[in-house]
Structure formats: structure tokens, C-alpha cells
Amino acid sequence: MSADKLVFVKPLMVVGAVLVAFGVLALIAQTGIVGYTSQDKLPHDGDTHITVKQERILSISPLWSGLALAAGTTLMIVAARK
């Protein structure tokens, strides 16, 4: 690509794409695919050490997922029309 034919991406398009990506990832998180394990050490006396492991699932409200998708799509449409 030559220097005189640079392509600039509109900022609204970038923000819209990020919101759409966040919305899709948040919807995937609703299925329980995204999880992690946390370890907590409890207070102890003497030689006894207690560690508790808990599996947790990342949960984001479907409302926020849908809003992010809708807002991102809207921003991308507006940016494409300008």
C-alpha cells in the first residue's frame, strides 16, 4: 500500500466493533463456558493449613449483552453512512 492511499478507520466504527465483540463474548459467557477457579486460604492455628478451592462461572446479565450488541451495531451502521 502506498503512502498516498492510506485508509483511516472511523472511530465510531472501532467503538461499535468493540461493543459488538463484548456483546458476543458476554453471550458466550452466559452458556457457562467461561469459568475460573479461586483459592482461598483460611485462618489457621498451629500446623493446620486449610485451602478452599471454588470453581466460579463468569456471569454477565443478558440485558447488558443485548444492549452492547445493539449499541455496537447501531454505531457501526451510523459510521458506515457518514
Domain ranges of the chain: 10-81
Q: What is the DSSP string of 10-68?
A: PHHHHHHHHHHHHHHHHHHHHTT--EEEEEEEEP--TT--EEEEEEEE----HHHHHHH
What is the model's pLDDT at position 20? 96
* pLDDT, the chain, mean: 82
Write the pLDDT tens digit of every residue in 6-34. Answer: 667 788 999 999 999 999 988 887 766 66
Higher pLDDT, 79 or 36: 79
CA distance 74 to 62: 18
